[in-house]
Amino acid sequence: MRAKYDEFTVVIPTLNEKRTIGEMIHYLLRNYRGCKVLVEDDGSTDGTKMIVRQISKSNRNVGLIDRRALGPEKGLTFSIVDGIRRCRTKYAIVIDADMQHPPGKIQDVAARLRRGDELVVANRAKVTDWAPYRKIISRIFMYTGKIILFITAKETCVDIFSGFFGVKRDVFVSVYEKNRHRFVGEGYKALFDFLKCVERGTLRTSNVPFTFHIREFGASKASVKQGVALFKSFFS
C-alpha cells in the first residue's frame, strides 16, 4: 500500500501558470495520497485560478487563496508565508508550479521531515541550459548571502535561495511571528528570510539534491525589482 501524506500541505505560489498548474496538482493528488494542496495566487490573469477552482470542486484537499482579493500585499514571499501560516497540517512543502522543481522529489523531502528534520531544502545540485550571465549573477548573490549568514551566526544550508523546501509548520510560523519585520514580502527568497532569523545550530536541517531545468512555459519572474528586494533582504 502506498504511503499516506495527510500530514503534509503542498504550498504552490502562482502567477500566470495555467500551462502547468493543472498538471502539477494532478501529479500531487495521484502520487501523494491524502496530501493537501494550497495554491496561493498572486494575481494571475491567464486562467490559472479558474483551473485550480475547477479541480477543487471535485477534491476538497485542493484549495485556492486569491491574494488579489486580500489587499495590497503582493509578492512571492508574502504568498509563501501566508500559505504556510494557513496550513493545518504538521508539515508544509513549498514548490513552484512551473515544473522546474521535480515533484517526484517531494517524497524524499517528506521522508526527511518524518524522521525528525525541521527544515529540508531541495538544493539545485545541477542547473541545465542556464545562460552564463545568470549563472554568474546567481553565484554572486549566493556567496553574498552565505557570507551574511556566516558573519551573523545564522542557520544555513547548501542552497539558501531555493524555492523548493519542506518545513515543520509550527517552527516556521514561530520564527516568522517573532521576526515579521525581517521578511521582505515583495521579494522572492522566503527561505533566506527564514534562515537569517534562526540562530546557527538550533535547527535540524538536511538537503535533497535535484536537477534544475529551464522553464518550458511562461517567463521567469526574476527582474531588477526582485534583485533590489534581495538586497533589501540581505540587510533587513
The CATH-assigned architecture of domain 8-234 is Alpha-Beta Complex (3.90)
pLDDT tens digit sequence for 84-140: 999 999 999 999 999 889 999 999 999 999 999 999 999 987 777 667 777 788 889
Cell numbers placing 112:
526527511
Tell me the average pLDDT across 153-163. 95
User: Distance between CA 121 and CA 118 in Å, rounded?
Assistant: 10
Q: What is the pLDDT of residue 127?
A: 74
Domain layout of the chain by residue ranges? 8-234
pLDDT tens digit sequence for 2-59: 689 999 999 999 999 999 999 999 999 999 999 999 999 999 999 999 999 999 999 9
Q: Strand pairing of 119-127 and 91-94?
A: unpaired
Dihedral sign for Cα 183, 95, 165, 112, please.
Answer: positive
More confident residue, 36 or 75: 36
Please tell me whether residue 200 adopts helix, strand or coil conformation: coil
Q: Give me the percent of the chain exceeding a pLDDT of 90.
A: 73
Structure letter (DSSP) for residue 63: E
User: Distance between CA 175 and CA 232 in Å, rounded?
Assistant: 19
